[in-house]
Amino acid sequence: MQEVSDITNQYQREILKAQLEMQEQTFRYISEEIHDNIGQLLTIVRINLSMIGEVKHVDSDVVTVTKKLLDDATSGLRGLSRRLNAEFVGQQPFSNSLRLHLNLIEAAGIHRVSLELHGEETEFEPGVKVIVFRIVQEALNNILKHADAHTISIALMYFPQETVLRIRDDGQGFDASKLNGTDRQKMGVGTHTMHYRANLIGAQFSIESKQGAGTLVQMTLPANRTAAM
């Protein structure tokens, strides 16, 4: 009973930690999005409004464009506000959370992204979903920081006995042989944490990569950690 209690407490602590990390990671993306995209939209709106104030006859096209820019900025801010809410991930289908996160990456204009769904989508347990999403965030963060990739693709495959999640990039790759062996001390902190969290929720986790051949991150979760939507 004590062992079960310790495992349960450890699991709950990891969920909370993952939620906090998830928010911190999202804050960084949102800061860049506001600066690079929404900030530019509002700057153009301000210029257009200044032009309108200086002329006697307002060009209807300028007004239409300005309204469209404001709509885009408002829509962008609404989407960003949803991402700030850790509960939003728990309330949405997992594929929606992935798609929103990939869209945020794509908005930076550096990477092409894609999401493929196979099979009938089933939902993760709430706590499991938070941990899986945080593992995805960590994997994507590694790609953005180290891979020098052009494309990022995620495949989410639902089978009767398991759910398989694959994250692939076309970056420079690396020697991943030491990551999947027994010597975990050679792993970076982020990679070790992904392995640890996957093990905590009963998932199999692996990273495959070669120099110049990109990287594949794969996680397989047994069906007993999901529930029908």
Kindly list the domain boundaries of the chain, sorted by start residue. 2-38+83-227
pLDDT tens per residue across span 150-205: 999 999 999 999 999 999 999 999 988 766 554 555 557 778 889 988 988 889 99
* Pick from 121, 222, 125, 111: nearest CA to 167: 111
pLDDT for 88 equals 61
- SS3 state of residue 194: helix
Q: Which two tokens stand for residue 7?
A: 């495992």
**181 to 132, 187, 198: CA distances (angstroms):** 22, 10, 15
Instruction: Give me the pLDDT at residue 32, please.
Output: 61
In CATH terms, 2-38+83-227 corresponds, of 3.30.565.10, 2.40.40.20, 3.40.50.1260, 3.40.50.2300, to 3.30.565.10
Examine the pLDDT at 96 and tell me if it is beyond 80. yes
In sequence order, the β-bridge partners of residue 165 are 156, 219
Could you give the CA distance from residue 114 to residue 99 in angstroms, rounded to a whole number?
Answer: 8
Q: Please determine, for residue 85, whether its predicted confidence score (pLDDT) is greater than 60.
A: no
The DSSP annotation for 22-82 comes to: HHHHHHHHHHHHIIIIIHHHHHHHHHHHHHHHH-SS--HHHHHHHHHHHHHHHHHHHHHHH
Residue 229 clears pLDDT 50, i.e. is over it:
no
- Other C-beta atoms within 10 Å of 213: how many? 13
pTM of the model: 0.66
Burial (CB count <10 Å: 0-12, 13-18, 19+), residue 214: buried
